[in-house]
A and B are shown apart, each in its own frame.
Chain A
Amino acid sequence: MKEGGDSGLERLSSGVTGLDIILGGGFLAGGLYIIQGQPGTGKTTFGNQICFNHVAGGGQALYVTLLAEYHARMMQHLSIMSFFDISKIPDQLTYFNCLQVLHDEGLKGLLALLRREITTRGASILVLDGIVSARRAAEDEEAFNQFVHELQAIAIATDCTMFLLTSSRGTQVTPEHTMVDGIIEFTDQLVGWSAESSLQVIKFRGSASLRGRHAFKITGKGIVVHPRIEALLARPSRPDVGGTGRVSSGLDQLDVMLGGGLPTSSTTMIMGPSGTGKTTLGLQFLARCCEAEPGLLFGFYETPARLDAKIAGVCRPLRGLIDQGAVEVIWQPPTEDLLDAYGERLLQAVQRRKVKKLFIDGLGAFRQASGIEPNRIGNFLTALMNEMRVLGVTTVYTLEVPDIMGPSIRTPIGDLSSLAENLVLLRFAELGARLRRLISVLKVRDSQFDGSLHEYVTSDQGLVIEATADSAERIMVGLANLREDEQDGITQPREGRDLL
């Protein structure tokens, strides 16, 4: 469980998914850490999880409560967690309640007991749950500081990493905060009717850590932390060498409009109202994958069954690629997880198969998952897309845009230019009693492109785009005539009905 870090200080892996990444490799062996948070935020689960992970690797751990909490009850609650392994108790993991020792013998007695038990058992992790009791037992602040100081001396002398679990004291800084090697704060925050848990490394000596808040969940596996994507990828994992060449969009005519296809390793946003064929276009993009250039469909709204039906209906070649493993489909409902969990899953899926073509169907799901911090979405996507770029991934994603008013496009995620290098717009146009579809390229990275509108239809071959802009021209003219009719009072359409 112990590993050497960059600083040369020995590291102790927490075994808590995601946390070691935030800590730059784990806790420092022999360090003293405060884990603070309101009751119910997961401190006890965390403390136990660290102990069980440690003993699973052959270490010895000691869990000491200073609370009127019953170990039997605690174990009942923990027994549903996958990390809980009763066979490790008591030989490798021992539970003591030392509240009475504290009452009878004070802090000195408690220190003596801890030192003896750590030494006798060779414990390399100590969790002290309920440090508030020790504070209450102290005669004064000085006595408590002395206790923490001596505890730190024991930690260093025995190479035992210690975790002091305590209820949050908010923003109040107490002397022990300045003495310990690190502080992690757990927070639970209401978001509408639901709650979100997050942690923050407030202090971490001897190493850099990912600053700011990171979301976590308490699952059947215990605490799972999701490092904030924009912190994790603040700098892409490798230099951007600048992709050259072009990648087919999946539609020959669209490739022509794009000036030769999508620039390699670029990001493309397909915008448009519901029903315009955004997903179909994305499927066609993936249908040009091959074993050497694997693809990934990362979707939210179309369930696997609906997706299968759509592929059968409009993009049959993709079926074979999925069956052969050249394209992977990962689907999750947009309400299932945390924003960073989605980002992490996407990143891992891309890295695992060295994906070269990525289609994210439903960018709005990221915004939906951003919950309490919708303003995060811009930085989140920028960091994620920067990483995709350096990994050589050409990304296409869809965004539902209900309001397209002439040249003005309002999106739910703010500044488009920072999120996509190429913009493709799909829209409806009403011509008389018929609904027509138009596609246009609004932007291509560092490239000339055909910016004219083209009509397209959906068919069992997917989207089929007109080779010229002629029919789109006629549609636009027809619309202009209709507007004149409206002005004459012949029809009374709803406001904005006929605007593009």
Chain B
Amino acid sequence: MTGIVLVVDDEFGIAELIDAVLTDEGHRVLTAINGRQGLAMMAKERPDLVFLDYMMPVMDGAEVLSAMAGDPSVAKVPVVLMSSMPEATVAERCSGYTAFMRKPFKIAQVVTLTVKLLNRDGPDGQGAL
């Protein structure tokens, strides 16, 4: 199954890498450089999956997750939270993500997670995979 994937990350090299990998896999990929831009894109076009960086200027990953939880149109969209920090550190500060991917990651992780999350029977939007 292919879908629309939104990548939100201030490190544009990472956003571009995920964009290139998932485009090759047949997905349509959108990118944003901070949380506010990411939410604006979600308002225009509902993504099927979001790769979301935790530490960003303007609006960080925790604020995006909080905003998504309060918006029924995107509340169920699965989110892969990304960070250079351990998941335990991030989990203390936010909730509502579906999976966690620690940076630096491997391309295979991106592909595997995308396939897994887009092919789930029904998105529940909760709990790490």
A interface list, Cβ under 8 A from B: 68, 70-73, 75-76, 86-87, 89-91, 94-101, 103-104, 113, 116-117
Residues of B in contact, count (CB < 8 Å): 20
Contact B89 A101 (CB under 8 A): no
A and B contact pairs by CB, cutoff 8 A, 28 listed: A68-B13, A70-B13, A70-B14, A70-B103, A70-B104, A72-B84, A72-B103, A72-B104, A89-B84, A89-B85, A90-B54, A90-B55, A91-B93, A95-B55, A95-B84, A96-B10, A96-B56, A97-B10, A97-B11, A97-B12, A98-B57, A99-B12, A100-B10, A100-B12, A100-B33, A101-B57, A113-B57, A117-B58
Give the distance to chain B from A323, nearest Cβ to Cβ, in Å: 48
Whole-angstrom CA separation of A75 from B33 in the bound complex: 21
Residues of chain A within 8 A (CB-CB) of B56 are 96
Residues of chain B within 8 A (CB-CB) of A97 are 10-12
Give the distance to chain B from A130, nearest Cβ to Cβ, in Å: 13
Residues of chain A within 8 A (CB-CB) of B86 are 86
Closest B residue to A87 by CB, please name it.
Answer: B89
B interface list, Cβ under 8 A from A: 10-14, 33, 54-58, 60, 84-86, 89, 93, 102-104
Give the distance to chain B from A457, nearest Cβ to Cβ, in Å: 69
Closest B residue to A86 by CB, please name it.
Answer: B85
Known A70-B104, A97-B10; further 4 A-B contacts with Cβ < 8 A: A70-B13, A86-B85, A97-B12, A103-B12
> 3 smallest A-B Cβ distances: which pairs?
A72-B103, A72-B84, A100-B12
User: Quick one: which of A73, A95, A113, A117 has the most chain B CB within 10 A?
Assistant: A95
Whole-angstrom CA separation of A91 from B86 in the bound complex: 14
Residues of chain A within 8 A (CB-CB) of B103 are 70-72
Whole-angstrom CA separation of A98 from B86 in the bound complex: 23
Whole-angstrom CA separation of A100 from B10 in the bound complex: 7
Contact A76 B33 (CB under 8 A): no
Contact A86 B104 (CB under 8 A): no
Residues of chain A within 8 A (CB-CB) of B84 are 71-72, 75, 89, 95
Residues of chain A within 8 A (CB-CB) of B54 are 90
Whole-angstrom CA separation of A19 from B56 in the bound complex: 32
Given contacts A70-B103, A73-B104, A76-B104, contact A98 B10 (CB under 8 A): yes
Contact A116 B58 (CB under 8 A): yes
Closest A residue to B58 by CB, please name it.
Answer: A113
Whole-angstrom CA separation of A96 from B60 in the bound complex: 10
Whole-angstrom CA separation of A91 from B55 in the bound complex: 10
Give the distance to chain B from A251, nearest Cβ to Cβ, in Å: 65
Whole-angstrom CA separation of A12 from B61 in the bound complex: 32
Closest A residue to B62 by CB, please name it.
Answer: A90
Residues of chain B within 8 A (CB-CB) of A70 are 11, 13-14, 103-104
Whole-angstrom CA separation of A334 from B24 in the bound complex: 59
Whole-angstrom CA separation of A99 from B57 in the bound complex: 12
Residues of chain A within 8 A (CB-CB) of B33 are 100-101, 104
Residues of chain B within 8 A (CB-CB) of A87 are 89
Residues of chain A within 8 A (CB-CB) of B58 are 113, 116-117
Residues of chain B within 8 A (CB-CB) of A113 are 57-58
Residues of chain B within 8 A (CB-CB) of A72 are 84, 102-104
Residues of chain B within 8 A (CB-CB) of A89 are 55, 84-85, 89
Whole-angstrom CA separation of A213 from B85 in the bound complex: 38
Whole-angstrom CA separation of A75 from B102 in the bound complex: 12
Residues of chain A within 8 A (CB-CB) of B13 are 68, 70
Whole-angstrom CA separation of A102 from B33 in the bound complex: 11
Closest B residue to A114 by CB, please name it.
Answer: B57
User: Quick one: which of B33, B89, B93 has the most chain A CB within 10 A?
Assistant: B33
Residues of chain B within 8 A (CB-CB) of A100 are 10, 12, 33
Residues of chain B within 8 A (CB-CB) of A91 are 93
